[in-house]
Amino acid sequence: MDRKTERHPTAGQPEQPAVAPHGDGRDVLRDVRRPAPQEFDIRIATDGSWYHEGGLIARPALVNLFASVLRREADGGYWLVTPVERGRIDVDDVPFIIVAADCEGDGKDQVIRLRSNVDDDFILGPDHQLVMRRPPDADDLRPYVTVRPGMEGRPGLEGRIARPVFYELAERGVEGPTGQIGVWSDGVFFSLEGDEA
């Protein structure tokens, strides 16, 4: 048969969807690829320590691996998500602790680089905002920063700035546009006093 006149067996027939949808509109393939939720019994304590079934996870490499697949959903819940499994975990406050700061320049030209306990390295600025907030179980304001900005409608992952690091920032504090004491970084002023000051 001439190749020009050869027809595919389905030529001329209406194109069929590759995957038939469920009655509620979800696609079968998506459901197959989404792993069923697991029970991990993992908790991140206020000090940033990770626990599994009540026991401390002491290997930094394992903690960093888990942290690399940590997600926060729109309802505020924390999940570990891999291609083959996913499960909710408990977080006492926020998942990360900011353990180091490196400041370059001064005044409005200052740039502050922060590092988390799981080796996230980022610049305090428009995408990584610092806020002073009072946790539900505390009497004082504490400094939090966005470590990993949210995507696809999900909230970001935050870290609490460790007290020694906060003291370093406070030593570089200057009076800002509204009269509060804070620091400049990447062209943005961040108050270290909070709205209650």
Adjacency order of strands within the sheet including 96-104: 121-123, 111-116, 96-104, 157-161, 142-148, 130-133
List all residues 6 or more positions away from 84 whose beta carbon is below 8 Å from its beta carbon.
35
> How do residues 68-109 score in pLDDT, each as one tens digit?
999 999 889 999 998 888 999 999 999 999 999 999 998 899
pLDDT for residue 36 is more than 70: no
Strands 130-133 and 50-52: unpaired
Token pair, residue 138, equals 């505390």
Please answer whether residues 31 and 80 qualify as being in contact, where contact means their C-beta atoms are separated by less than 8 angstroms. no
Q: Does 37 lie in the same domain as 106?
A: no
Q: Does 65 lie in the same domain as 46?
A: yes
Q: Does 113 lie in the same domain as 171?
A: yes
CB-based burial of residue 94 (10 Å sphere; 0-12 exposed, 13-18 middle, 19+ buried)? buried
> Could you tell me the pLDDT band of residue 40, with boundaries at 50, 70 and 90?
confident
Domain extent for 40: 28-91
Q: Alpha helices of 79-159 — where are they, by DSSP H?
A: none
- The CATH number of the domain where 39 resides is what? 3.10.540.10
Check residue 19 and give its pLDDT: 40
> How do residues 113-143 score in pLDDT, each as one tens digit?
999 999 999 999 999 999 999 987 778 899 9
Give one word for 129, left, alpha or beta, with left for phi > 0 and alpha for psi -120 to 50. Answer: beta
Would residue 102 count as lying in a domain?
Answer: yes
Q: Does 178 lie in the same domain as 109?
A: yes
Q: Does 187 lie in the same domain as 103?
A: yes
List all residues 6 or more positions away from 127 whose beta carbon is below 8 Å from its beta carbon.
146, 149
Would residue 17 count as lying in a domain?
Answer: no
Please give the tally of structural domains in the chain: 2
> How do residues 11-29 score in pLDDT, each as one tens digit?
444 444 444 444 444 443 3
> Could you tell me the pLDDT band of residue 9, with boundaries at 50, 70 and 90?
very low
The values of phi and psi at residue 32, to 5°, are: -65, -40
> How do residues 132-178 score in pLDDT, each as one tens digit?
999 877 788 999 999 999 888 889 999 999 999 999 999 999 999 98
Q: Does 184 lie in the same domain as 126?
A: yes
